[in-house]
Structure 1
Amino acid sequence: MKNPVGRPKLLDRENLVNIALCQYWMNGIDNVTISSIASLANVSRPGIYKEFTDEDGLKYEVLRKYTDILREFVIPQYNSAKDIKTIYNHIYSTIGFNTDKTYFEGISKVKDILPSGANGCFFENVKLKKHTLDNKTKSEVNNFEKFRRNIFLKYLKELQETGQIVSSLNIDEIYEFISAQISLSQSLALNGMNKEKIKIIINKALSAIVTPKYTIN
């Protein structure tokens, strides 16, 4: 039986999350209203609130969909990575460069989730807006950051042991520095800076922690 004309259809949770992901990614997680998502999904606002409790609940579900993909397909690439070029290629990928898949495949295995015209990494885009988020979504940002940190620390320790990163530097501080460069590259890209210029900035920044033999200019 078809829905009566004008009556919103029953809520398809997965479809709504996919629509919200696309909208949040394209326009910014703090720039999209529940009303606009409801309209695109052809469902009612009360239906969304009933399904997700509140806007924070929807944002959490959307972010969790993306971070689950990163947990399964992207971050584990660092478990077998042994070259500093992995982190270079990772950062390059978030600003629109094709990567050398010898070192980093990125999200290419699940690229069908990428909205057409999306900029950068959705997680990093959300992280830049962390101060605007409510508790549940903010907590997922923190949880994923902790997960990523633990994987990265093992990778960075190996780079230090093989002479690719300056040995006198503290591993935790190296991680914070790299995390800051990823955020910086996202911020510059979102503000319209040419990706070639961003690449130069990132290469210069990483030269502070990478030994001369392995520095990329």
Structure 2
Amino acid sequence: MSDSEKRGRGRPKSLNRDQVIATAMEHYWVDGPANVSINEICKRAGVSKPGLYREFGGEDGLHQAVLENYLDKGLKKLYDVLAVDRPFKDGVEALINLFLESRSVFTSPRGCLLRDMRSCEDHLGPNTCETIERLHSDSMAQYAVWIERAKSRNEIQNIWTDIAVEYVDLQFGNAMLLLKRNEPDDMIVQVMRLAFSVFTPKL
């Protein structure tokens, strides 16, 4: 038997990796990452459990893949906005626009998936937990660079960076919750402007 014949034997691979990840992400958002079983994901994605395990290595691997997809489609865009060298107030406006644009990137924004998964780490696998903490640390580092740059230009008050970073993280989470509730754009704009005005009370 030739090598090509050997490779051709057995069940052909039909699992669509991207489609499974998209299905899992949507339902983790809707029901919570710890509340959707691997069997339910298989049912909703129309794939077999053995096929999913072959592709992702199990539920831990699927969770990781969803997080990496969230990084590519959401977090990296956030990092790009934060990295642009511009006045702090202009950066805030760019961030507001980014959050509003997320309505078109994700069919139904359900809040911050990284935050949701971090809140239920006790129910997730070790590799997923490691990925969660890595992405969280990366995000906080990006916020810190943004805050330090604004402080160095005297564009914001001289607040401790670690406190400012925690505050920024909370405000981004709040913005995502407003999106989850389908609040109108104008409300999100006004709430975010008010939230970030604490950095420039006398400027």
| Range of TM-score over shorter length | 0.7 to 0.9
**Percent identity, aligned pairs only?**
23
SS at structure 1 position matched to 2:108: coil
Q: Distance in 2 between matches of 1:69 and 1:140?
A: 16
Amino acid at match of 1:207: S
Query: TM-score, normalized by length of structure 2?
Result: 0.73
| TM-score in terms of structure 1 length | 0.69
1:87 alignment counterpart: 92
**Residues 47-71 of structure 1: CA deviation (Å, up to 9, x unaligned):** 2233323212211111112213446
Kept in 2, the 8 Å contact 1:163–1:211? The answer is no
Asked whether the equivalents of residues 157 and 200 of structure 2 are also in contact (C-alpha less than 8 Å), the reply is yes
The one-letter code matched in structure 2 to 1:53 is G
In structure 2, the residue matched to 1:179 is 169
In structure 1, the partner of 2:133 is: 142
- Find out whether 1:33 has 2:23 as its counterpart: no
Q: Can you list the C-alpha shifts for 1:77-128, whole angstroms capped at 9, x where unaligned?
A: 322232223235425644xx35xxxxxxx797xx3xx2x2233443344345
- Paired residues, what number? 191
Find the partner of 1:62 among 46, 66, 69: 66
Residue 176 of structure 1: how far off its partner (Å) = 1.5
> Which residue in 2 is equivalent to 1:3?
none
Letter in 2 for 1:206: F
Write out per-residue CA displacement over residues 146-183 of structure 1, whole angstroms, 9 at most, x where no aligned residue: 2222233222112112222112x112221111112222
The partner residue of 1:166 within 157, 164, 168 is 157
Which stretch has the larger CA shift, 27-36 or 136-145? Answer: 27-36
Residue number in structure 1 paired with 2:52: 48
Distance in 1 between residues matched to 2:162 and 2:66, nearest whole Å: 29
Give me the whole-angstrom Cα distance separating, in 1, the residues matched to 2:74 and 2:62. Answer: 19
RMSD: 3.3
With over 3 angstroms needed to count, the CA separation of the structure-2 counterparts of 1:28 and 1:92, relative to structure 1, is: farther
Once the two structures are superposed, residues 182-206 of structure 1 have per-residue CA deviations (whole angstroms, 9 ceiling, x without a partner) of 223334654x484555655544443
Distance in 2 between the 1:146 and 1:58 partners? 21
**Structure 2 unaligned spans of 5+:** 1-10
In structure 1, the residue corresponding to 2:199 is in which secondary structure? coil
Tell me the amino acid that sits aligned with residue 95 of structure 2. H
Contact kept, 8 Å, 1:19 with 1:41, in 2: the verdict is yes
* One-letter amino acid matched to 2:174: L
Structure 1: distance between partners of 2:93 and 2:116: 19
Instruction: Tell whether 2:78 aligns with 1:74.
Output: yes
Q: Contact 2:42–2:52 (CA<8 Å) still a contact in 1?
A: yes
1:65–1:119: structure 2 CA closer, same or farther, 3 Å change rule? same
What does residue 210 of structure 1 align with? Answer: 200
